């Protein structure tokens, strides 16, 4: 029988924000913890340390953050186009100075992050074959 998983209101709110942190002692047994990881993976989240993050957000960070592992893959024009899809400072920001500000990307809604990730995947498709 699978363990029952109950998420606190704080955990549910964190999931809605695309991030959920786990602490030592959150689960009494490893079976329950493993089930949470399995369920979250099915919802598009990855466990990094004690933190669940959406795959889309991880992709965006790796390509658009100044220290991202894939920051050199997109051209400057492509990078700007993807950043235009962000909504951290509100939708439709065109000011180059604001588009280049990391917090515009970082503070974007989940919908905007999904759009940015989809665009990155589309831009990478010809390169990745």
**Boundaries of domain holding 80:** 57-128
What does the CA dihedral 83, 85, 88, 89 come to, rounded to 10 degrees? 90
Note whether 37 and 89 are same-domain residues.
Answer: no
Lowest mean pLDDT across 13-27, 35-49, 89-103: 13-27
Same-domain pairing of 21 and 76: no
Asked if 67 and 122 sit in the same domain, the reply is: yes
Strand 19-21 vs strand 45-48: parallel, antiparallel, or unpaired?
Answer: unpaired
80-96 pLDDT, tens digit each: 999 999 999 998 888 88
Query: 116 with 86: CB under 8 angstroms?
Result: yes
Q: What local confidence, expressed as pLDDT, does residue 26 receive?
A: 59
pLDDT tens digits, one per residue of 87-122: 999 988 888 889 899 999 999 998 999 999 999 999
Provide the whole-model pTM.
0.65
101 plus 112 within the same structural domain: yes
Q: How many domains does the chain have?
A: 2
* Residues 71 and 47 grouped into a single domain: no
């Amino acid at each position: 029988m699978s363990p029952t998983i109950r998420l606190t209101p704080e955990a549910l709110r964190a999931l809605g924000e695309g991030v959920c942190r786990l602490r030592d002692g959150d689960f009494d047994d490893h079976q329950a913890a493993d089930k949470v990881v399995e369920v979250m993976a099915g919802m598009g989240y990855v466990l990094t340390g004690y933190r669940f993050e959406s795959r889309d957000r991880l992709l965006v960070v790796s390509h658009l953050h100044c220290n991202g592992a894939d920051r050199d893959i997109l051209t400057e024009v492509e990078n700007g186009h993807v950043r235009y899809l962000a909504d951290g400072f509100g939708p439709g920001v065109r000011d180059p100075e604001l588009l280049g500000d990391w917090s515009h990307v970082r503070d974007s809604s989940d919908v905007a992050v999904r759009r940015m990730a989809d665009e990155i995947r589309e831009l990478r498709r010809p390169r990745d074959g």
